[in-house]
Structure 1
Amino acid sequence: MIDTVFIGMSGLTSYSKGLKAISNNVTNLNTPGFKTSQLQFTDLFYQGSQNGTGAGRFGNGVGTNGTSLNFLPGDFRSTGNELDVAINGQGFFVLRDEQDNLRYTKAGQFEFNSNGVLVNRNGGERVMAYEAGNLREITLQGMQSNPPKASTEIVLKGNLSPEGTQHTINNVAVFDSAGKQHNLTLAFSDKKQDAVTGETNWTVTVKEGAATLTSGNYKFKNSLAVGGSDSLNFSFTPVGAPASNVTVKLGPNVQAFNLGTTSSLEVESKDGYGLGTLTKQSFDDEGRLVLSYSNLQSDKRYQLATARFSNLDSLEQIGNNQFQTKDTNAVSYAVASKGQDAIRSRAVEISNVDLSQEFSDLILNQRGYQASSQIVSTANEMIQELFEMKGRR
C-alpha cells in the first residue's frame, strides 16, 4: 500500500505539471507569435513477472517527458503599424542579441532605435536582413535623405491643332544637378505652313520666368511629327555643380489634327527630382523594407531574412516570444517570396492557442488530479485501518 501512495503522488505531480502547461497556454492567448505546448505523459517502469503468473506485473505510476510545441500557424491580426509584419508560412524572423546569438520569432513587431537600427520592439534584438548569402543588420545610416537627380527628358503628348496660332504649357518643373527646381514655360508660336513640302513649322521657346533658355522648331506633316525636327535641347549650369542637359521631345502620342483653335498638348512624362527627406518606413509582401521620401522616390535595398527548420523539434522557447535552436544544422536562411513565406505587412500573427482544446485538457487534468488524490486518500485509509488492526491485537 505504500507503493500505492507513491503511485498516487506521481499522478498528483504529473497532473500539476499538466495544469502548469495549460495555464501557460491560456494566459498567452493574446501573445503575438506564441506557440502552445503540451505536456507528454509516460507510464513509469514495471516490476514483476511478464507472463501474469505469480506476483504479476505492476507499474509504478505516471511521469512526464517534458512538453512538445505545436507550430500550427495562428491567425493574423491587423495593427496598422507600418513596421509590424507576419509570415504566412513556416518561416521565422531572425534576430541577433547583444551577445551575437541568433534568435527566431514569429512576432514581427519591429521599430528603429535611436541609432537608426531596426530592432525587436520587445527585447531590442537586431532584426536581420539576408543578402548574398549573409545575414546583416538593417540600418538607416546614410539613408535619411535621397539625393537629387537632374532632369534629362521631357516628353509631350496631346494634339497641337494647325488651326491655332499659339499654345503655352506652364509650370513644367525640372531639376538641375544640384537638386534645384526650375519652373519652365513652353511657348508654341509663329506657326508657318510650307506649301511645297506640306509641313507645318512651329517655333518653340523654353523660358524660365523672363529668361529664354532655348528656342527651336517642331515640324509636322500629315498630322504627325517629322523625325529630326521633333526635339530640342537646353542646359542648366548651377553654381558648384556640373551642367545638366534637358531634351524636350514630342512623344508618340502627339498629333496635329485639325480640331479647332484649341490645342491639348501637355507634358506626358519627365524625369529628375530634388532632394528628398525620409517620410515613411514600411514592408512589402516580400519583406523588403520600403523607405519613402518626400521627392516621391523609394529605396528597397533591405529584405528581411527568414529561417526555416528541417526539424522543428530542434526549437525551444526561451521567452519574450523567441526561440533558439539546439541544432544549427537544422536551420537554413532565405528571403520571403509571394509564394513561400509571404509577408503580411501592418499585421502580426497571434498565438495559436485553441481555448476549447485547452479547457477540455483542463477538465481531464482536473479529473486526473482528483482521481490521483482519491488513490492517496484510499491508500491512507487502508494503512490507517491496518494500524488499528495491529493495535487491537
Structure 2
Amino acid sequence: MLDSIFIGMTGLQGYSQGLRVIANNTANINTPGYKGSSLQFADMFYSNSNTGMGTMQVGYGLNTAGTMLNFEQGELRQTGNTLDLAVDGQGLFTVRDSGGNTHYTRAGQFNFNTDGVLVSRIDQSKVMGQDASGAVGEISIAGKSAIAGTATTAVKFAGNLSSTAPSHTIGSVNILDKLGGSHAFTVKLTNENTVATPNQWKVELVDASGVAVDSGSIAFENGLPKAGNSTVTMDFTPPGLASMAVVLDFSADVTSFAALTTSTLSMTSQDGKGPGTLTGVNFDASGTLIMNYSNGETVKGSRLLLGRFDSVDAVAANGNNQFDATNQLAWHTGLGAEGGFGSIRSGMIELSNVDLSQEFSDLVIMQRGYQASSQVISTANDMLQELFQMKGK
C-alpha cells in the first residue's frame, strides 16, 4: 500500500506539471510568435517477480519525459505597421542580444532605435541581416536619412511638329545638375527643309539669358523620326560644376505632318531628380530593406537573415518570444523567399498557435487524472489506517 501511495504521488506530480504547461499555453494565447508546448508522459520502471504461477510485472507510476514544442504556423494578422514582420513559412528571424548571443524568433515586432539599428521591441536585441556582399551584421539606416539628387541625362518629347511651320519653341525645359540644382532652358527648333536637307530641323538649347549653349539637328521621314537622327546630345556647364551632357530625345511619340498645321510638340519627362529625404521604410517578400525617399527614389538595403531547423529537438524556448539552438548541426541560415525559409510579410504579425479549445479539453483530462491519483492515495491511506486498527486489536 505504501507503493500505491508512491505511485499516486507520481500521478499528482505528473498531472501538476501537465497543468502548468496548459496554464502557460493559455496565458500566452495573445503572445505574438508564441509556440505552444505539450507535456510528454511515460510510465516508470517495472519490477518483475515470480509468484509461482508466472511472472508478475508491477509498475512504479507516472513519469514525465519533457515538453514538445508545436511549431505549426499561427494566424498572420494585419497591423498596418510596416516594421511588424511575419514569416510565411518555416524560417525564424535571427536576433543578437547585448551579450552577443544569437537567438531566433517568430515575433517580428521591430523598430529602429535612436542609433538607426533595427531591434526587437521586446528586449532591444538587434535584428541580423545580410548585405549585398554576403556579410552578416545589424540592419541599419544610420546615415541614410537623405539621398543626393541625380543629374538629368535625357529629356523626352512628344507631339506633332508641323512640317510647314518655320520654327517652334518649347519652353520650361528644366534640367537638373548632379547637386539637384534646376536650370531653365528653352528648346528652339528651326525648319531647315531644303533639297539638300529634306525634313531636317535645327535644334538649339537656349539658356535663360537667350544664349544657345549647344545645337544639333533631327530629321523626319514620312512624318516620323528618322532612325539614327532622332536624338541630339547637348553639352552645358552649370555654374561651379563640370560640363554635363543631356540627350534631347525625339524618337518616340513625335511626328511631323503638314496636315496638322499646329505644332504640339512639348517636353514630357526628364530623368533627373533632386535631393530627397527618407520618408519611410519597409521590407519586401525576400526580406530586403526598402528605403523610400521624397524625390521618388527607392534604395535597397540588407536582407533579413533567417534560420530554420531540421528537428524540433534542436530548439529550446528561451523566453521573450525567442528560441535557442541546442544543436547547431540541425540549424541552417538563409534568406527569405528562397531555400524553404518562407516569405516575409510586412505589416503583419504571427499570432500564438495555441488552440484554446484543445487546451480546455486537455485541462479536463489533467483534472480527472489528478483527481484519480488523489483518490488512489486516499484509498491506500484508508487501507493503512484499517490495518493499523486491526493490529491494535
Question: After TM superposition, is the score higher than 0.5?
Answer: yes
- Distance in 2, matches of 1:310 and 1:134, equals 24
- Distance in 1, matches of 2:51 and 2:324, equals 46
Q: 1:387 to 1:101 in 2, by over 3 A?
A: same
Matches within 5 A, 1:146-225: 146-163=147-164, 167-188=168-189, 190-194=190-194, 196=195, 199-212=198-211, 213-225=213-225
Q: Which amino acid aligns with 1:7?
A: I
1:125 to partner: Cα distance? 0.8
1:273 to partner: Cα distance? 1.5
Q: 1:8 to 1:330 in 2, by over 3 A?
A: same
1:95 to partner: Cα distance? 0.6
2:390 is paired with a residue whose SS is: helix
1:12 to partner: Cα distance? 1.0
Question: 1:358 corresponds to which residue?
Answer: 359
Question: 1:375 corresponds to which residue?
Answer: 376
Q: Which runs of 5+ in 1 are unaligned?
A: none
Q: Which runs of 5+ in 2 are unaligned?
A: none
Q: Deviation digits for residues 59-85 of structure 1, max 9, x if unmatched?
A: 111011110101111110111111111
Q: Deviation digits for residues 134-184 of structure 1, max 9, x if unmatched?
A: 421111233222122211211223332335565554433321122212343
Q: Which amino acid aligns with 2:61?
A: G
- Distance in 2, matches of 1:253 and 1:331, equals 57
Which piece of structure 1 moves more, 212-221 or 72-81? 212-221
1:359 is paired with a residue whose SS is: helix
Question: 1:76 corresponds to which residue?
Answer: 76
Matches within 5 A, 1:221-232: 221-226=221-226, 227-228=228-229, 230-232=231-233
Count residues in correspondence.
389
Question: 1:67 corresponds to which residue?
Answer: 67
Q: 1:219 to 1:134 in 2, by over 3 A?
A: closer
Q: Which amino acid aligns with 1:368?
A: G
1:267 to partner: Cα distance? 3.5
Q: Which amino acid aligns with 1:116?
A: G
Question: 2:288 corresponds to which residue?
Answer: 288
Which piece of structure 1 moves more, 210-219 or 356-365? 210-219
Check whether the contact 1:10–1:63 (CA below 8 A) recurs between aligned residues. yes
Question: 2:144 corresponds to which residue?
Answer: 143
Q: Which amino acid aligns with 2:64?
A: T
2:100 is paired with a residue whose SS is: coil
Check whether the contact 1:174–1:273 (CA below 8 A) recurs between aligned residues. no
- Distance in 1, matches of 2:382 and 2:185, equals 103
- Distance in 2, matches of 1:82 and 1:2, equals 63
Question: 2:385 corresponds to which residue?
Answer: 384
TM-score, structure 1 normalization: 0.91
1:378 to partner: Cα distance? 1.2
Which piece of structure 1 moves more, 242-251 or 51-60? 51-60
Check whether the contact 1:165–1:261 (CA below 8 A) recurs between aligned residues. no
1:4 to partner: Cα distance? 1.0
Which piece of structure 1 moves more, 59-68 or 167-176? 167-176
TM-score, structure 2 normalization: 0.91
Q: Which amino acid aligns with 1:185?
A: T
- Distance in 2, matches of 1:186 and 1:278, equals 34
Check whether the contact 2:165–2:261 (CA below 8 A) recurs between aligned residues. yes
2:303 is paired with a residue whose SS is: coil
- Identity among equivalent pairs (%): 43
Check whether the contact 1:130–1:304 (CA below 8 A) recurs between aligned residues. yes
Task: Provide the aligned C-alpha RMSD in A.
Answer: 2.3
Check whether the contact 2:230–2:250 (CA below 8 A) recurs between aligned residues. no
- Distance in 2, matches of 1:50 and 1:318, equals 48
Matches within 5 A, 1:241-390: 241-337=241-337, 340=340, 341-390=342-391
- Distance in 2, matches of 1:180 and 1:50, equals 101
